[in-house]
Amino acid sequence: MSGEKKEKTIKRLKAMYPLRSLVDKMYERAVEYNEEGKPTAWCMVNWWGADAVLRTMDIAAVYPEDYGAVCAAFGTAQAFLDRCNSDGFPDHLCGYARNGIGYASRMKELGGIPPEAPMSGMPKPTLLLCSGYFCDTRYKWFQSLGRYLDAPVWLLEMPHPGVRESLSGDGTQKHIIEFMVKELREFIAFLEHLVGKKMDWDKLDEVVNDLIEMNRVWHEVNELRKAKPCPMHSRDFWSCMPASLYVAEDPGKTAVLYRNLYDEVKEKIDKKEAAIPEEKYRLAFAELPPWHSLGFFDKLAERGWNFVVESWSYHPPKPTDLSKISNPLERIARHTYRHFAGFFEEAYKNGEHLGYFGYPYLDYVKEYECDALVAHPLLTCRTATNHLAYVQDRLMKVLKVPTIVIEGDIVDLKHFNPEEALRRAEAFEEVIEHYREVRKKG
Amino acid sequence: MTKRGNTGLAKVKEIYEDRSFYAKQLKAEDKKIIGYLCIYTPLEILTALDIVPYRLFGNMREPITNADAYFPTLVCPFLRSILDLGLKGKYDFLDGSVMPHVCEVGEKLAHIWRTYIDLPYSFYIDTPHSKSEAALEYHKEWLNEFKKSLESLTGKELSTESLKQATKAHNEQRALVRRLYELRKTEPPLISGAETLQVMKALMSIPVKEGNELLQEVISEVKERREGPKGGTRLLLWGSNIDDIAIIEIMEEFGANVVMDDLCVGSRFYFPDVDMTEDPLDGLARRYLLDLKCPRTFIGAAVGDTKRDYPKDLERRFGYLHKYAEEWNVKGAILYNLRFCDIHGFEAPLVKDYFDRYGLRSMYLEHDYSESSLAPLRTRIQGFLELLT
């Protein structure tokens, strides 16, 4: 056996590393805050609806959803999952949630961060912030943590209009934004009381602008990936996305790192460099990857599979000019709503009803010229799974683009079989070739 | 409006066993029939426009086949079954559908349903998750949009007076259902759990006025009959959707009386009234957002809270359950959940904690909404009942 480390097939971007490391700092910051008696929050990913507010109020946030992936990667999730189940929660619930409940249960038993907790662990929170965005778990999970934690639990709402209703009513969009702004005001009133200090509105204004700019640059980076060959693989996307999704660091500083990433990707495009040795197939990926088996993508890269775009839900919103809106809360609301409904007009024009989770895949596959979709249903994540069969059907019916389904889970290793998946991928190449011909013939 | 001219419980049974028959008859009389999902659709608006609300149910006795192509097996089997029936053409007699955001999978169903099931009308209501003032205002706006869409469908303008009349009729139905539930407080109860579920499902299949007449017949019959249920272990049944009597029949076969429920085909659907407000939409918005007690609606902290007190939290959320347990004198509770229902899955251990505080024994039971998986549940139910006696 050679002592040499085999070089990975996927060429990682250098500018990715500083972005990726921001998440480690996010956990460290929360532990430091806790030790200093400063407020900390366990948050659900809220698609920037609350992050600017928390950062301005100097509340350190951690994301138990992300921590589920961390525990999976470090191999400590199983004990937390088992603990959750023995506490009476059904085993079909979200793997991240069961990990988080098991962690909180253990934390209650010990009175502090469990010694087996990876990275710095999540400190006892001052606040539990749920999000109404997307899935039921993301508010029911934190509600159930009352058994173990005495932090108040707050829900930040997110409207979910249908495509047609959102565009056809004369005042629907106005009501949506008004609703979100009112919810944010109430949230701020709650926080001011909780942490005993007033909102600095000038600072919030600045943070919101930085956040919008950060996401604009991050969006531009992803636009570059339409290039053929594509120099940025989904592996790099997943490494870079938490910096935006969790607002893991001051967004002004993060924007600089995304600009560096933009420059590197642009340079590679100019040099016609791909992320893999030979880009034979361009793929889209849905939804969350098997965090515990990411080396699988290197194996596919050896076969010429380049993943050029992935789940819409982790992408930043399409940029829109919000500079004329003076109220920072309205800018937050419009920015977050833009993420949710950014594809609605196009979906409506094309007669598609699932404007998020559905139509974005049609758009991406067309725009990024993908040959196929790799769908990764997750056994314990309804949200990442319930639309995949539908997407598969729409892609085939509308674009004649095939999908390969590879089952797995975000936390539980045993549901993903990389060897079998590779064998199936090899056979699937014939299907890709077939549909290339079908599309050519029109 | 029956096949054999039955009345009371016989008519209930007839409707329960072939519920679309009546809807199709009404359709033949030029009535519009709109299918609705779960408990968050304001039926009063439909009734006021002379549209028959027809609740969408699945069929646990029919294997899901067609829906697999659009909805994976790891989502709520009840909602999958509804889609499956729709894809098989079993809801083709409907003039349309309305689906609120009852849960995440229900929301997806609304959009997938309208993609593949071609009905003349469909509407989706974005019911908020929380009970804030802002959420209430937002909810009212959606009810207004729903009203406008139905006005457009029917070509009629909905007057305040008509909406108030419809609200009164539905409140009357709620009062009658509460009266029916009173008859379950006696020992033994005058009506069984399985019969009650049949009544609920029948009511959700016919116009409100006919439903009210039927309820009056049932109440009179049940009060007068001699061959009612026999005494047994009194149970409260909490949980997600139950639209088939099979599971309750198992409990009652083993000598239990299901005397009270917190189910969406039961008290959860019917107990709260709509306040008769000047603008009827105010009363409807409040009732359908604030007063319904499904765990899909979030109850959390208020401005000013800095800590959470778990026992108080449980009391605030589940206080009504203790009242039910006391008033209906129950000896145990079954916490029923459909596999893959996250909302009830997260809630059940907390409901158990709540009942434990009052010394009421409870058992969590999970079902995959298929006839074949009832057998293993029998053993668990039997064991639990033995524990209670």
Average pLDDT of chain A to the nearest whole number: 94
Rounded to whole angstroms, how far apart are CA atoms B125 and B40? Answer: 9
Q: Is B74 on the interface with A (CB under 8 A)?
A: yes
User: Which pLDDT tens digit goes with each residue over B320-370?
Assistant: 999 999 999 999 999 999 999 999 999 999 999 999 999 999 999 999 999
pLDDT at A169: 65
Whether the pLDDT of residue A3 is over 60: the answer is no
Q: Is the dihedral of CA A416, A422, A424, A430 positive or negative?
A: positive
Rounded to whole angstroms, how far apart are CA atoms A286 and A279? Answer: 19
Q: What is the mean pLDDT of residues A293-307?
A: 94
Nearest by CB to residue A90, choosing from B134, B309, B366, is B366
Query: Scanning every residue of chain A, which has its alpha carbon at the shortest distance from the alpha carbon of B295?
Result: A140
Whether the pLDDT of residue A412 is over 90: the answer is no
Residue A1: pLDDT band by 50, 70, 90 thresholds?
Answer: very low
Average pLDDT of chain B to the nearest whole number: 96
Q: Does residue A118 contact residue A162 with C-beta atoms inside 8 Å?
A: no
pLDDT at A168: 75
Q: Is B17 on the interface with A (CB under 8 A)?
A: no
Cβ-based contacts of A183 with chain B (< 8 Å): 132, 134-135
Rounded to whole angstroms, how far apart are CA atoms A66 and A75? Answer: 14
Q: What is the mean pLDDT of residues A337-360?
A: 96
Q: CB atoms < 10 A from the CB of B73, how many?
A: 14
A247: Cβ contacts below 8 Å, ≥ 6 apart? A48, A51, A52, A55, A61, A211, A254
Q: Does residue B355 contact residue B330 with C-beta atoms inside 8 Å?
A: no
Q: Which own/partner contact pairs does A262-270 have at CB distance under 8 Å and 24+ positions apart?
A: A262/A217, A262/A220, A262/A221, A262/A224, A263/A15, A264/A13, A264/A14, A264/A15, A265/A13, A265/A221, A265/A224, A265/A225, A265/A231, A265/A232, A266/A224, A268/A231, A268/A232, A269/A224, A269/A227, A269/A231
Q: What is the mean pLDDT of residues B82-96?
A: 98
Cβ within 8 Å, pair B115-A90: no
Q: Is B300 on the interface with A (CB under 8 A)?
A: yes
Q: CB atoms < 10 A from the CB of A36, how many?
A: 8
- Has the ipTM of the complex gone over 0.90? yes
Q: Where are the domains of chain B?
A: 16-159, 164-191+227-388
Rounded to whole angstroms, how far apart are CA atoms A270 and A31? Answer: 43
Residue A2: pLDDT band by 50, 70, 90 thresholds?
Answer: very low
Question: Phi and psi (nearest 5°) for A114?
Answer: -65, 140
Tokens of B50: 């002379």
HSE (side-chain half, CA atoms, 13 Å) at A198 = 3
Rounded to whole angstroms, how far apart are CA atoms A207 and A249? Answer: 11
CA–CA min distance A73, chain B (Å): 24
Cβ within 8 Å, pair A389-B349: no
Place of tokens 């951690």: A62
Q: Hey, what CATH class is B164-191+227-388 in?
A: alpha beta
User: Which pLDDT tens digit goes with each residue over B179-230?
Assistant: 999 999 999 999 999 999 999 999 999 999 999 999 999 999 999 998 899 9
User: Which pLDDT tens digit goes with each residue over B233-288?
Assistant: 999 999 999 999 999 999 999 999 999 999 999 999 999 999 999 999 999 999 99
Q: Is B72 on the interface with A (CB under 8 A)?
A: yes
Instruction: Choose the weakest-confidence range: A117-121, A125-129, A278-282, A330-334.
Output: A117-121
Tokens of A158: 């997110």
- For chain B, give the number of residues: 389
Nearest by CB to residue A389, choosing from B69, B126, B135, is B69
Tokens of B146: 């729903």
DSSP B306-318: -S--HHHHHHHHH
Strand partners, B34: B53, B96
Query: Scanning every residue of chain A, which has its alpha carbon at the shortest distance from the alpha carbon of B135?
Result: A179
User: Which pLDDT tens digit goes with each residue over B7-28?
Assistant: 999 999 999 999 999 999 999 9
Q: Is B282 on the interface with A (CB under 8 A)?
A: no
Whether the pLDDT of residue B1 is over 60: the answer is no
**Best interface-test mutation with B: which of A91, A105, A140, A181 has the largest number of B CBs within 10 A?**
A140
Nearest by CB to residue B306, choosing from A87, A161, A194, is A194
Q: What is the mean pLDDT of residues B65-82?
A: 95
Whether the pLDDT of residue B81 is over 90: the answer is yes
pLDDT at A418: 86
Cβ within 8 Å, pair B295-A179: no
Rounded to whole angstroms, how far apart are CA atoms A266 and A280? Answer: 21
Whether the pLDDT of residue B318 is over 70: the answer is yes
**Best interface-test mutation with B: which of A89, A141, A143, A395 has the largest number of B CBs within 10 A?**
A143
Fold match, B16-159 / B164-191+227-388: yes
Q: Give the Å distances, CA to CA, from B226 to A35, B213, B221, B256, B288.
A: 71, 22, 10, 19, 38
Q: Does residue B360 contact residue B352 with C-beta atoms inside 8 Å?
A: no
Strands B361-367 and B256-262: unpaired
Cβ-based contacts of A163 with chain B (< 8 Å): 111
Q: Is the dihedral of CA A26, A30, A31, A32 positive or negative?
A: positive
Instruction: Specify the CATH number of the domain B16-159.
Output: 3.40.50.11890
Cβ within 8 Å, pair A147-B310: yes
Residue A337: pLDDT band by 50, 70, 90 thresholds?
Answer: very high
Cβ within 8 Å, pair B126-A162: yes
Cβ-based contacts of B72 with chain A (< 8 Å): 377, 385-386, 388-389
Helix, strand, or coil (residue A147): helix
HSE (side-chain half, CA atoms, 13 Å) at A327 = 11
Q: Does residue A376 contact residue B56 with C-beta atoms inside 8 Å?
A: no
Rounded to whole angstroms, how far apart are CA atoms A301 and A308? Answer: 12
Whether the pLDDT of residue B2 is over 70: the answer is no
Cβ within 8 Å, pair A90-B71: no
Rounded to whole angstroms, how far apart are CA atoms A108 and A85? Answer: 16
Q: What is the mean pLDDT of residues A37-59?
A: 96
User: Which pLDDT tens digit goes with each residue over A251-273?
Assistant: 999 999 999 999 999 999 999 99
Residue A401 corresponds to which amino acid?
V
Q: Is B368 on the interface with A (CB under 8 A)?
A: no
Q: What is the mean pLDDT of residues A159-183?
A: 90
Tokens of A319: 């940029």
Nearest by CB to residue A147, choosing from B111, B342, B353, is B353
Q: Where are the domains of chain A?
A: 22-158
User: Which pLDDT tens digit goes with each residue over A211-262?
Assistant: 999 999 999 999 999 999 999 999 999 999 999 999 999 999 999 999 999 9
